[in-house]
């Protein structure tokens, strides 16, 4: 079996992976890759199962994580908006591959076993958008990592998955992207075509997983830069709420029609509502930040935020980088101030992540010193004898 974090119960491997993934999603502090995938919510739970099973060292664990992130993100990169436009949720559809590859690497699978693991993931990949659109709740990365553990178990026991399950005429890309020719319905950068060959170009030399960003605020990833970039602009120019006439934000157009223009359940450019993009932009002006422990609009929201959000305008653009808004603040004295985000503001090093994540400590079920020990263990994980020590450090005491 394997351990459920925080609780400490020992359950089936698939059950532990499912519970830990759902716990990560519920916490709202996710990583994000190209808006519509959250790799760590499935990769970490799957890797923890493998680490417990094999008594893996920290270095071996990190190697498995790198493999899982890189493979998943390369498979997903150019295809995410096209897959979503067909009614599939790209998070779990691609999220099965990361934990499966991470576990396969940690468990020292042979080349043939890794191939079968990936192929079996094709059989088990799933995720649909319609449930939440019709009053239901999505089944996402928890199910993906649970299925990943099944793929790993079958491949370990010699089940052969097939050679062309990804690129074949009836394979993964034909099924989920609509074709295996690289034709795209939507793209974050405006492309209409890509190549499956790009998936492996520079593999082991160029690292796509370095594009993964940290979603420090518990909101849609496209909102986080609206908080920090707007706050930075106000700090740099000493702009106060009382000075502001209006705010304009030019954004990637796909960020305004979540999850896809084919099935938009939220039109961020068509409404000013608490919890929408204009709300977070207003928070950046009024508070120069957003509470890390707050996950929803609150009765304690400053009235200035709720007023100013109606004077924030989103301008969709086909030329803006993902998560990189251009914020312009027009002040009452007739001046304007602009700051262009890069889209890389939340791609942090370890020290910055450790500094900012400490704000969650008051909301944790473990004491602050125990959380600090988690941070210290992560910092030196490549020198730890057992990676699964991290699981034990999450457990509630008593």
Do 153 and 51 belong to one domain?
yes
Could you say which of 194, 214, 234 is where a domain stops?
214
Q: What is the pLDDT of residue 96?
A: 99
Domain presence at residue 239: yes
Q: What is the pLDDT of residue 153?
A: 99
Domain presence at residue 364: no
Domain of residue 197, residue span: 2-214
Could you say which of 317, 340, 363 is where a domain stops?
340
Domain presence at residue 227: yes
Q: What is the pLDDT of residue 237?
A: 98
Domain presence at residue 354: no
Do 206 and 95 belong to one domain?
yes
Do 186 and 228 belong to one domain?
no
The total of structural domains in the chain comes to 2
Do 236 and 323 belong to one domain?
yes
Domain presence at residue 176: yes
Residue 75: CATH number of its domain: 1.10.4100.10
Domain presence at residue 365: no
Q: What is the pLDDT of residue 366?
A: 97
Residues 6+ apart with CB under 8 A from 103: 46, 47, 49, 50, 64, 68, 117, 148, 149, 152
Residue 232: CATH number of its domain: 3.30.1330.120
Do 240 and 208 belong to one domain?
no
Do 180 and 61 belong to one domain?
yes
Do 294 and 202 belong to one domain?
no
Pinpoint the alpha helices (H) of the chain.
Answer: 13-27, 40-54, 58-76, 80-84, 90-95, 97-106, 111-124, 130-133, 141-156, 172-177, 221-237, 277-286, 303-308, 350-357, 368-379, 389-393
Pinpoint the alpha helices (H) of 55-125.
Answer: 58-76, 80-84, 90-95, 97-106, 111-124
Do 128 and 231 belong to one domain?
no
Q: DSSP readout, 262-274?
A: TS-SEETTS---T
Domain presence at residue 363: no
Do 164 and 147 belong to one domain?
yes
Domain presence at residue 86: yes
Region for 190 from its dihedrals, namely left if φ exceeds 0, alpha if ψ lies in -120 to 50, beta otherwise? left
Could you say which of 190, 214, 238 is where a domain stops?
214
Do 210 and 226 belong to one domain?
no
Q: What is the pLDDT of residue 397?
A: 87
Do 251 and 315 belong to one domain?
yes
Do 7 and 134 belong to one domain?
yes
Residue numbers in the chain where pLDDT is lower than 70? none
């Amino acid at each position: 079996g394997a351990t459920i974090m925080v609780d400490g119960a020992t359950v089936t491997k698939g059950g532990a992976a499912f519970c830990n993934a759902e716990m990560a999603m519920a916490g709202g502090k996710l990583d994000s890759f190209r808006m519509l995938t959250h790799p760590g919510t499935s990769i970490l739970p799957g890797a923890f199962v493998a680490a417990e099973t094999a008594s893996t060292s920290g270095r071996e664990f990190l190697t498995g994580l790198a493999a899982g992130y890189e493979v998943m993100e390369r498979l997903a990169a150019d295809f995410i908006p096209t897959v979503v436009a067909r009614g599939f949720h790209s998070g779990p559809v691609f999220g099965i591959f990361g934990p499966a590859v991470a576990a396969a690497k940690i468990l020292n699978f042979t080349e043939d076993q890794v191939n079968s693991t990936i192929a079996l993931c094709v059989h088990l990949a799933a995720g649909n958008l319609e449930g939440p659109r019709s009053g239901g709740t999505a089944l996402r990365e928890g199910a993906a990592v649970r299925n990943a553990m099944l793929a790993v178990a079958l491949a370990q026991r010699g089940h052969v998955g097939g050679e062309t399950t990804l690129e074949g005429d009836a394979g993964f890309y034909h099924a989920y992207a609509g074709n295996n020719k690289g034709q795209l319905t939507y793209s974050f950068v405006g492309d209409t075509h890509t190549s499956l060959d790009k998936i492996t170009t520079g593999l082991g030399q160029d690292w796509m997983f370095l594009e993964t960003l940290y979603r420090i605020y518990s909101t849609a990833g496209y909102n986080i830069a609206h908080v920090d970039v707007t706050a930075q602009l106000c700090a740099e120019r000493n702009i106060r709420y009382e000075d502001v006439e209006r705010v304009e934000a030019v954004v990637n157009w796909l960020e305004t029609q979540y999850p896809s223009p084919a099935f938009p359940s939220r039109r961020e450019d068509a409404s000013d509502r608490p919890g929408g993009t204009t709300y977070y932009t207003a928070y950046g002006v009024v508070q120069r930040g957003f509470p890390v422990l707050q996950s929803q609009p609150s009765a304690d929201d400053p009235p200035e935020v709720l007023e100013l959000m109606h004077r924030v305008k989103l301008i969709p653009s086909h030329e803006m980088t993902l998560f990189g808004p251009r914020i312009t603040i027009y002040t009452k004295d007739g001046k304007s101030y602009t700051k262009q985000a890069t889209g890389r503001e939340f791609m942090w090093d370890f020290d910055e992540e450790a500094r900012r994540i400490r704000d969650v400590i008051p909301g944790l079920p473990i004491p602050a010193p125990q959380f600090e020990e988690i941070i210290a263990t992560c910092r030196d994980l490549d020198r730890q004898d057992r990676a699964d020590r991290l699981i034990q450090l999450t457990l509630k005491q008593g």
